[in-house]
Amino acid sequence: DGGITQSPKYLFRKEGQNVTLSCEQNLNHDAMYWYRQDPGQGLRLIYYSQIVNDFQKGDIAEGYSVSREKKESFPLTVTSAQKNPTAFYLCASSPAANYGYTFGSGTRLTVV
Amino acid sequence: LAKTTQPISMDSYEGQEVNITCSHNNIATNDYITWYQQFPSQGPRFIIQGYKTKVTNEVASLFIPADRKSSTLSLPRVSLSDTAVYYCLVGALADNNDMRFGAGTRLTVKP
């Protein structure tokens, strides 16, 4: 079945460490996105990529980095520069922007 | 960038029809309207998308008046499992600038 897979589902990080969240899709979608969601809040856009080897900052990119070396993969690194990284992270893909996003099941990151 | 406004929360009872309205006063000519549903600790799920008049699928209907400055998501005969957050997005297809989700509407269905 086609879909989008995020791993791990839960992740714990010590302060000062970088951590990478995985996002893989086999939908042949060109566009991929990363969103952050805090408790009781909506989704905020971190980064997005419309094609391989190209990505753009969203509204809250500071402290995060991404790569898009393959069409299927869009990993997100949460760096030590991100001051409040504890959140629910969602990856999505779509054929193109606003054609209807398919979301992964999310990764819940906790800083300990 | 078309900004949307939705009610923060709504309550309903099982078996009722629920209508959630989204305001988008500065919607552009090329913008489409898309609704998503999100359950706790899950990613949002696409419900329906439309441009004008009425769109219906097996899950919901979307009503868009002629001026397109608002839209209404209609959920027929809701059940407890429809308790979720519903997001309205407005943006042009393939437009890189319109991928923002608002706070959404938290629908609670009661028995």
Cα–Cα nearest to A49, from A10, A12, A111, A92: A92
Nearest to B49 among A41, A100, A105 (CB): A100
Inspect the interface and report whether the beta carbons of B98 and A99 lie closer than 8 Å: no
Instruction: pLDDT band for A1, please (50, 70, 90 cuts).
Output: low
A5 at B interface, C-beta within 8 A: no
Residues linked to residue A66 through DSSP beta bridges, in sequence order: A76
pLDDT digits (tens, 9 = 90+) for B36-55: 999 999 999 999 999 999 99
pLDDT given for residue A70 in this prediction: 97
Q: Which of residues 22-81 of A touch B (CB under 8 A)?
A: 33, 35, 41-45, 48, 50, 56, 58-59
Cβ separation A90–B91 shorter than 8 A: no
Instruction: Look at the alpha carbons of B61, B43, B100, A88 in this order and tell me if their dihedral is positive or negative.
Output: positive
Which residues of chain B does A104 touch, with a Cβ-Cβ cutoff of 8 Å?
43
Asked whether the beta carbons of residue B41 and residue A88 sit closer than 8 angstroms, the reply is: yes
pLDDT of B102 reads 79
pLDDT at A66 over 60: yes
End-to-end CA distance of chain A: 36
Residue B98 clears pLDDT 70, i.e. is over it:
no
Grade residue B111 by pLDDT with cuts at 50, 70 and 90: very high
The reported pLDDT for the residue numbered A81 is: 87
B101: confidence class by pLDDT, cuts 50, 70, 90: confident
pLDDT band at residue A100 using 50, 70 and 90 as cut-offs: confident
**Most A-contacting residue of B22, B59, B101, B108 (CB-CB within 10 A), to test interface:** B101
- The whole-angstrom distance between A87's CA and the closest CA on chain B is 11
Cβ–Cβ contact A92 with B under 8 A: yes
Q: How far is B89 from chain A (nearest CA, A)?
A: 8
Contact (CB<8Å) B44/A90: yes
Reported as a single tens digit per residue, the pLDDT across B16-30 is: 999 999 999 999 898
Where residue B3 falls among pLDDT bands split at 50, 70, 90? Answer: confident
pLDDT above 60 (res B1): no
* CA atoms in the 13 A half-sphere facing the CB of A6: 27
Nearest to A38 by CA among A13, A60, A15: A60
- Best of A36, A43, A51 to mutate (most B CBs within 10 Å, chain B): A43
Please tell me the predicted confidence (pLDDT) of residue A40.
86
Distance from C-alpha of B94 to C-alpha of B74, rounded to nearest angstrom: 26
Cα(A94)–Cα(A99) distance, integer angstroms: 6
